[in-house]
Amino acid sequence: MSNNTTVENIILGCLSFGPRSGYEIKKIINMSSSWFYNASYGSIYPILKKHEEKGLVSSEEVIDNGRYKRLYQMTDKGYKAFHAWMLQSPKLMTVKYEMAVKLMFFAKLAPEQRIQQIEEHIEQLRLFKQELEEIEPWAEHEGDSYQRLILDWGENLYDFLIQWFSQLLNELQKYDGDLPQKPKDGQQL
Amino acid sequence: MSNNTTVENIILGCLSFGPRSGYEIKKIINMSSSWFYNASYGSIYPILKKHEEKGLVSSEEVIDNGRYKRLYQMTDKGYKAFHAWMLQSPKLMTVKYEMAVKLMFFAKLAPEQRIQQIEEHIEQLRLFKQELEEIEPWAEHEGDSYQRLILDWGENLYDFLIQWFSQLLNELQKYDGDLPQKPKDGQQL
DNA sequence: GTCCTTATATATCATTCTGCTATATGTTAT
DNA sequence: ATAACATATAGCAGAATGATATATAAGGAC
């Protein structure tokens, strides 16, 4: 069984496509997983070193167009650890969604401020969805059917979010930014 | 402008409902925001102390049914900081979704292993949605219309995920666990 | 040809947050 | 009685971010 973290396994997974440098791994992540599981340089380089110490990867310095880089390659041991992780029961999704937190305290905002926050957020979601769509040509060219599948999932997810918040905006606008309180049990009559 | 973190503001937000202890704040979070923005005791207690040092909250020890607890209360300064944060442009959502990562490397799994991973994941999603539904009575009773709204959002979101993965499972089963590769440009003919 | 910007490539570090462990006491069920 | 559970807080190792720093190569502007 693998007790590596998810990020450690993403890096192994990227190396399953062939030898890569830390910088190249970050590029793969940016173009594919970053929006559902990101990793920063501050994780990637130390993890590569740790992987090498554990014998999960090996490395060599190469000169590519007159520029040094350290290419990492997965070992058999590394592939076994990666594959073992692939078979484990997946961890539950975790989300950090600030807009949802704000919604929780929305009663503290003035009606027009509520509308403004939602409008701004819908704009953010639209921009992000556009960014996803710009990856599509890359996935068509570089990725396999599963990588294209994930992009499709992302676009569906953001469509769902845009639609949900647009509907909320409509409701808010209908009631001048003040959602009608469904009466509680004790308040009826 | 507020330069507190989101978790620091969640804690202020909880105190906007009235004086609470660290333990009680965790309970509020568990029953409402935890699935879209969680905070652990290891964050909550130190943040409360930091907030007090900065004058955003004040505290007093009280005895509740013969048991000590430290009740924290928001100050004017704290409310101003919280409200300023509420008006700021919300941060983009971040997601950590291990199942999506695995999907990225799904080509490395055997067909029947793919089907098993998806089946297990759908089961996880169903269980989690049930947990959300169990919060509903609490939200009906304790929350305002916005808190109920978020629960509604969560249920819609998990419905979307269950539906999306169920459809993928169907496709996989149709093709014996092996999604047909859409031919790349260079591979046609 | 030099200047500026962008891309490649890696390293370091304070800060944030989690999840685990530990401790202590009150309450409820058996 | 006593075991299990709920309340209440503290501390810490480890993971990850995001910001800064450094250096070199490539490409375009003028």
The distance in angstroms from the start CA to the end CA of chain B is 61
* Strand D within 7 A of B97 CB: no
CB nearest to B149's CB, from A87, A103, A148: A103
Q: Å between B41 CA and C26 C1'?
A: 20
Length reported for chain B: 189
Q: How far is B186 from chain A (nearest CA, A)?
A: 10
Q: How far is A116 from chain B (nearest CA, A)?
A: 9
One-letter amino acid identity for A34? S
For strand C, the positions having any atom within 7 A of a protein Cβ are: 8-14, 16-21, 25-27
Q: What is the DSSP string of B53-93?
A: HTTSEEEEEEEETTEEEEEEEE-HHHHHHHHHHHHSPPPPP
Q: What is the mean pLDDT of chain A?
A: 91
**Which pLDDT band, with edges at 50, 70 and 90, does A189 fall under?**
very low
Longest dimension (CA), chain B: 81
Q: Is the pLDDT of residue B67 over 50?
A: yes
Convert the pLDDT of each residue in A147-174 to its tens digit: 889 999 999 999 999 999 999 999 999 9
Convert the pLDDT of each residue in B24-50 to its tens digit: 999 999 999 999 999 999 999 999 999
Pairing of strands A67-74, B94-96: unpaired
Q: Is the pLDDT of residue A28 over 70?
A: yes
pLDDT attached to residue A182: 61
pLDDT attached to residue B142: 74
| Better pLDDT: B76 or B175 | B76
CA distance B117 to A75: 25
Provide the 8-state DSSP code for A81: H
Kindly determine whether residue A184 and residue B91, on different chains, have CB atoms separated by under 8 Å: no
pLDDT attached to residue A185: 46
Q: What is the mean pLDDT of chain B?
A: 91
Closest-approach nucleotide to residue A40, Cα vs C1': D17
pLDDT attached to residue A174: 93
Average pLDDT over residues A122-132: 94
Convert the pLDDT of each residue in B98-143 to its tens digit: 999 999 999 999 999 999 999 999 999 999 999 999 888 777 777 7
For strand D, the positions having any atom within 7 A of a protein Cβ are: 7-13, 15-20, 24-26
pLDDT attached to residue A2: 78
Convert the pLDDT of each residue in A83-110 to its tens digit: 999 999 999 999 999 999 999 999 999 9
Average pLDDT over residues A50-77: 94
Give which of B94, B109, B112, B155 to mutate to test A binding, by max A Cβ within 10 Å.
B94
Convert the pLDDT of each residue in B174-185 to its tens digit: 988 888 876 544
Q: Is the pLDDT of residue A187 over 70?
A: no
| Better pLDDT: B138 or B62 | B62
* Of the candidate ranges A135-149, B64-78, B88-102, the one whose mean pLDDT is the lowest: A135-149
